[in-house]
Amino acid sequence: MIKLKQVCHGLIVATALLSLQQVALAKTVVVTMTAMEKEISIDNSGTKYPGWTFDGTMPGKFVRVTEGDTVDFTLINPAENKNSHSMDFHAAQVDVLNEFAPVKPGEKKHFIFQAKVPGLFLYHCGANPMVQHIARGMFGVILVDPKGGYTKAYPKPDREYVLIQSQYFPDAENYKAMLENQGWAGSLINGKILHYDPVHDPNASQVLEAKPGERVRIYFANANINMPVALHPIAGIWERVYINGNPKNTLYGIQTYNVGVAEADTFDIVPPAGRITNNAIVDHNMSAALRGAITILMNKPDADPKKGTGNQIIIP
């Protein structure tokens, strides 16, 4: 009986120490974004579009934290803007009428939340009309890495890329048409039509790269207004799909996975070792693919070592 009590006591102490260690490792991540109403390019030819953005880019910055971290966020809406803007983090559990409230020009909004659930989450502007704010570029993703780190069930990738798909509506002022899914003329990947596809667009200068046999992790988000995405790697198979980016929700050997509107999922692909191959990551809804939702992944021994790492997780 004494030994049993000692074992139980030891387990309790060990659990307490682990909890304290996890609390100690948690950190506060300060994130500041500025709403910018400015022209942006929506294709590889430099076609201009009157965007509404976070920090001047579509998509906004890639935010990465660890499960348990606190996000200290500030949204600045400069006085020269004409519209109210807001921030809706899908990773946050807060008050929609408080933290996510619109910010008028010349004002700012500050709030704090704890990233309690691991996974990949969309963020976007939620000010009215929300459909227009998203369509004009106010979206991005926040990745909440699991506090347990990499495991056999969630192996460390060799390269990581963020891909966010959205719809291009040339008539930026007609939010009623956006609401009815009328007038969309292109599918954007990280803000541009055929952004990483020199096969179909001679003006495209970038592709995703990896070495044969490397594990490539794609963080994919659907920022379309109305359309799901049937994500498929042509000439490949998704080795794993982590639904919502959470390692607890894992599928294996998937040809195509449907990503709902405002959903974000994580995809692993491992190209064959020992030979050069290429994949085309597409929305298998052909109306979207042939309007721009095609991304080329080149797998070759001399792959750029910087691509898929550091600030090249989103290739400009």
Query: Each residue of 221-237: pLDDT tens digit?
Result: 999 999 999 999 999 99
Q: Of 112, 145, 178, which closes a domain?
A: 145
Question: Is 12 domain-assigned?
Answer: no
pTM of the predicted structure, to 2 decimals: 0.92
pLDDT in the model for residue 13: 45
Question: Is 1 domain-assigned?
Answer: no
Q: Which helix (H) or strand (E) holds 34?
A: strand 28-41
pLDDT digits (tens, 9 = 90+) for 56-109: 999 999 999 999 999 999 999 999 999 999 999 999 999 999 999 999 999 999
Do both 100 and 32 map to the same domain? Answer: yes
Scan for tokens 């920022």, then name that residue.
Answer: 223
Q: What is the mean pLDDT of residues 15-41?
A: 78
- Please count the other Cβ atoms lying within 10 Å of the Cβ belonging to residue 299: 25
Do both 169 and 304 map to the same domain? Answer: yes
- Please count the other Cβ atoms lying within 10 Å of the Cβ belonging to residue 256: 15
The CATH number of residue 292's host domain is: 2.60.40.420
Question: Is 120 domain-assigned?
Answer: yes
Do both 227 and 139 map to the same domain? Answer: no
Q: Which helix (H) or strand (E) holds 5?
A: helix 2-25
- Residue 23, pLDDT above cutoff 60: no
Do both 234 and 294 map to the same domain? Answer: yes
3-state secondary structure of 140: strand
Do both 164 and 289 map to the same domain? Answer: yes
Q: Which helix (H) or strand (E) holds 273?
A: none
pLDDT in the model for residue 25: 77
Which CA distances in Å does 31 have to 62, 118, 134, 163, 255? Answer: 10, 18, 20, 21, 36
* DSSP 8-state assignment for residue 312: G
What six digits make up the tokens of 288?
């979207």
- Residue 8, pLDDT above cutoff 60: no
What six digits make up the tokens of 7?
């074992």
Do both 164 and 293 map to the same domain? Answer: yes
pLDDT in the model for residue 4: 46
Question: Is 195 domain-assigned?
Answer: yes
Domain count, the chain: 2
What six digits make up the tokens of 137?
């570029």
Do both 195 and 302 map to the same domain? Answer: yes
Question: Is 153 domain-assigned?
Answer: no
What six digits make up the tokens of 235?
């000439």
* DSSP 8-state assignment for residue 228: -
Beta bridge partner(s), residue 192: 189
Q: Of 145, 167, 201, which closes a domain?
A: 145
115: left (phi over 0), alpha (psi -120 to 50) or beta: beta
Question: Is 259 domain-assigned?
Answer: yes
Domain of residue 306 covers 159-312
3-state secondary structure of 134: helix
Question: Is 10 domain-assigned?
Answer: no
Cβ–Cβ < 8 Å for 268, 238? yes
Do both 293 and 241 map to the same domain? Answer: yes
- Residue 16, pLDDT above cutoff 60: no
Residue 89 is which amino acid?
Answer: F
